[in-house]
Structure 1
Amino acid sequence: MKRWKVVPILFFTAVLGLVLCISPKAQAEAIALQDGEYTVDYNILKAENDSVSMANDYFEKPAVIHVNNGKIEAEIRLNHSAWITEFKVPHGGGYIDTTTVSSNSATDTRIARFPLQSLESPLAAQIHVTVPSVDYDHDYTIRFAFDNSSLTPVKTEKSAAAQNKETESPSAQAGSTAGKAASNAASGANDSPVSRDEASVKKVSSNNNDLKSSEASEQVINPPTADTAPLAVWMAFFVVSLLFLARRWFVSKAK
């Protein structure tokens, strides 16, 4: 019967392992949102249930997420911009208008920016849709549901630091070859490697508020998600423990 006491211990160990495994995963997702820029997919859901809203087609994917000192803001491109005359998000117990970053009347699009508390739960929003050609005028409450598994870093502090380190190398090389550079300048050789590097740096550091340009930036292949391998191991251990518990119970009954 002493062996039977081992079963609760194994069961408790398996449950504790699952808790300890899931908790670091949640922490890793929070830590992954270091200051920088990300892209993330999302869907527009209805207010009353998790069905996809008809308004989903009026918001282009992915969204661009900006993180600065722990504060999160999202940028989303709207098509049929003229139809969506109001776009508000929660703030201070009420709703505030989103900020228009840029707009293009020729393509009938605009980029709206608004604050987020978290990407974990759907964000409620209010839109006012007006279509004069069909005499349509209506208010809607919708919800933004972000897909955290699609979160992909575009530019973070680490990547920016690495880029700055790389751009410093040509300058150091230029200092060690100053005599040669001066000689080339005297002979009219204006197209030096140093000048080309400086032009490249200026081009990379130029700001562009267009969402498509943000998507075209260099992206890290692996998104910052937690490793699920430990979770699978503990789940397997949990199942084995349950099977062992069941077997011991049947053996005791048989006796």
Structure 2
Amino acid sequence: MKKCLTIPVSMLMMLIFAVILYVPASKAAAALADGTYSIGYTVLQGDNDSASMANDYWEKPATFTVKNGEMTMQMKVNHSSWVTSFKVDNGGGFADTQVVNSDSSEDTRVVQFKVKDVSNPLMAKIHVTVKTVDYDHDYTIRFAFDAKSMKALSTAESKADKAANVTPKTKSEGSAPATAPATAPAVNAEQKKAVAVNPQTGDTTPVTVLVALLLISSFILIRKFVKL
């Protein structure tokens, strides 16, 4: 009887912990509103959590946009001429990042790529070539994002709010000559504050119900096997 009881109870407990740990994280990611965000990160070595020497080659923070639940990350690489190849894990292998801007005088470039979430380290492969010292090597690195540092730079909601607060011009106002104001308009202090990114309250309800059902099911099974 002990063996029959131990197996189902262990499986149920593993399932409960998986739901508690995984589902809220996915809900939090899905709760991000469409917009642009900044996030800090560290470049780690491929096989451990120590900072990679390549960490100094990437500018912080990164920025990413969310549109219809899809995230696109942008990063700035310094010593761009040294980092001759930069590929990221796309779930089925490693794909080249797309260059969106480069500055040869500053030896920098901005690249972008798709990401599924920022809660787990992102694997990447780079090739570093320094011709002046005959250095030529491939490396596997990981990008560990700091979710606590994430800030909303702009969101679809904030843009809609600004549009709603614009007072339409009357005909008399439109006929006035366009002149620059003597002083810059005051910026509302509230507009300077970064928007806190929090999961929507409604998203947690299905998780709570699911966990409650699992707990009830486990209790019933335990009672059933104890009676046996």
CA distance in 1 between partners of 2:51 and 2:43 (Å): 6
AA in 2 matched with 1:116: V
The 5 Å alignment of 1:67-216 reads 67-167=66-166, 169=167, 171=168, 174-175=169-170, 178-179=171-172, 181-182=174-175, 184=176, 189-191=177-179
Q: Is this contact kept in 2: 1:87–1:125, CA < 8 A? A: yes
Match of residue 220 from structure 2: none
Say if 1:219 and 1:129 are closer, same or farther in 2 by CA, change over 3 A.
Answer: farther
Q: Is this contact kept in 2: 1:149–1:225, CA < 8 A? A: no
Gaps of 5+ in 2: 1-17, 186-190, 201-228
CA distance in 2 between partners of 1:26 and 1:35 (Å): 18
Alignment of 1:44 with 2:32, yes or no, is no
Q: Is this contact kept in 1: 2:40–2:61, CA < 8 A? A: yes
Say if 1:192 and 1:98 are closer, same or farther in 2 by CA, change over 3 A.
Answer: closer
Say if 1:65 and 1:179 are closer, same or farther in 2 by CA, change over 3 A.
Answer: closer
Alignment of 1:224 with 2:212, yes or no, is no
Gaps of 5+ in 1: 1-18, 201-217, 228-255
Say if 1:20 and 1:219 are closer, same or farther in 2 by CA, change over 3 A.
Answer: farther
The 5 Å alignment of 1:51-70 reads 51-70=50-69
Q: Deviations over 1:226-252 (max 9, x none)?
A: 69xxxxxxxxxxxxxxxxxxxxxxxxx
| TM-score relative to the length of structure 2 | 0.68
Sequence identity of aligned pairs in percent? Answer: 41
Question: CA shift at 1:24, angstroms?
Answer: 8.9
Question: CA shift at 1:105, angstroms?
Answer: 0.3
Q: Is this contact kept in 2: 1:152–1:220, CA < 8 A? A: no
Question: CA shift at 1:90, angstroms?
Answer: 1.6
CA distance in 1 between partners of 2:174 and 2:72 (Å): 45
Runs of 4+ with >3 A deviation? 19-28, 179-182
CA distance in 2 between partners of 1:126 and 1:22 (Å): 29
SS of 2:157's partner is: helix
Question: CA shift at 1:73, angstroms?
Answer: 1.1
CA distance in 1 between partners of 2:93 and 2:173 (Å): 65
Q: Deviations over 1:103-155 (max 9, x none)?
A: 00000000010110111110000000000000000000000000001110001
Say if 1:104 and 1:219 are closer, same or farther in 2 by CA, change over 3 A.
Answer: farther
Question: CA shift at 1:29, angstroms?
Answer: 2.6
Say if 1:140 and 1:165 are closer, same or farther in 2 by CA, change over 3 A.
Answer: same
| TM-score relative to the length of structure 1 | 0.62
Query: Which protein is bigger by CA-based radius of gyration?
Result: 1
SS of 2:59's partner is: coil
CA distance in 2 between partners of 1:190 and 1:140 (Å): 57
Q: Is this contact kept in 2: 1:153–1:220, CA < 8 A? A: no
Kindly report the root-mean-square deviation, in angstroms, between the aligned alpha carbons of the 2 structures. 3.0
CA distance in 1 between partners of 2:137 and 2:147 (Å): 31
Q: Is this contact kept in 2: 1:35–1:67, CA < 8 A? A: yes
- Higher strand proportion (structure 1 or 2): 2
Q: Deviations over 1:162-192 (max 9, x none)?
A: 121233x1x2xx22xx24654x4xxxx4438
